[in-house]
Amino acid sequence: MTLPGRLAVILARGGSKRLPGKNLFRLSGESLVGLAVKKALKSKCFSNVLVSTDSPEIAEEAKKAGGWVPFLRPSDLASDSATSTKALLHAVNWVIQTHPENFPEVTVLLQPTSPLLKSQHIDQAISLFENHSFTSLSSMCSVKERPEWMFHLEPDFKAVPRDQICFVHPSQKLPVFYHENGAIYIIKTRHFLENHSLYDINNHGGFIMEPLFSIDIDSELDFLFSEFLVTSGKVNPHE
């Protein structure tokens, strides 16, 4: 197995309390994990796409899509309390231990729960990461709910603006804020192994994606909205 300088990893565990079996949900005839694998391979940035899962069913779906599934993730890394960071560390360490001659300089984490991500987004994010010499990068989209216009409630339910000054400002006068959409994380592998973090907050890049492609499936409503966007022709999940 020849590995590139970039390692793509897709984390897809079998369990999910909020939306059971979501990584096997089908969108436009393809499972979410299958879509993620095919887009990563279509991006031409990786020769292999490693899928870490505890589920034989997900493993089979990933393999059918062209994914590399060399192990099943230990059960202690597949519980609701297990973090993505620990699961990713396990995958990266497995690769390094079994293929020490091909240490991946960069690790790219992709999420099956972002099915409207395009392969070109992956290309563009990696290009931004490398051209700006970032240590870490994550995909983001602009916020819709302005924090300046939010309230907090006092014990007597009196609503108080979070920011009395900004509350009266039109949106054009407010700074643009972004939040992570969960689709792409890129990190220099040595930094990740040393710090057990997907972030070097002093040298972190943000790749901007349109809200239309930024849906993160965490509930049934998220999935139904994704289906609507696909069936209405707004997006093509196979791109």
Asked if residues 205 and 136 have their Cβ atoms less than 8 Å apart, the reply is yes
Residue 113 has pLDDT above 80, yes or no: yes
Whether 2 shows a pLDDT value over 50: the answer reads no
**Six token digits for residue 47:** 């020769």
Tell me what percent of the residues of the chain surpass a pLDDT of 70.
95
49-62 average pLDDT score? 96
Check whether 3 has a pLDDT greater than 70.
Answer: no
Strand, helix or coil for residue 120? helix
User: Does residue 174 carry a pLDDT above 80?
Assistant: no
Query: Tokens at residue 110, please?
Result: 């992709």
Cα–Cα nearest to 40, from 15, 12, 9, 82: 9
Average pLDDT score over residue span 209-227: 95
Q: What share of the chain is helix, strand, coil (3-state, %, to 5)?
A: 35, 20, 45
**Domain spans in the chain, listed from the N-terminal domain onward:** 6-141+178-231
For the domain 6-141+178-231, what is the CATH code?
A: 3.90.550.10
CB count in 10 Å sphere of residue 184 = 24
Q: Give the model's confidence band at 65: pLDDT under 50 very low, under 70 low, under 90 confident, else very high.
A: very high
202 pLDDT higher than 90: yes
**Of 192, 180, 200, 177, residue with least CA distance to 139:** 180
> Residues near 117 by Cβ (< 8 Å), separated by ≥ 6?
36, 39, 110, 139, 183, 184, 209, 213
Residue-averaged pLDDT of the chain: 91
The pTM is what?
Answer: 0.92
Residue 75 CB partners (closer than 8 Å, separation 6+): 54
Is residue 1's pLDDT more than 50?
no
Determine the pLDDT at residue 170: 66
Residue 7 pLDDT > 60, yes or no? yes
Give the CB-side neighbour count of residue 215, counting CA atoms within 13 A: 20
Question: pLDDT of 159-169, one tens digit each?
Answer: 988 776 665 66
Say whether pLDDT at 11 is over 80. Answer: yes
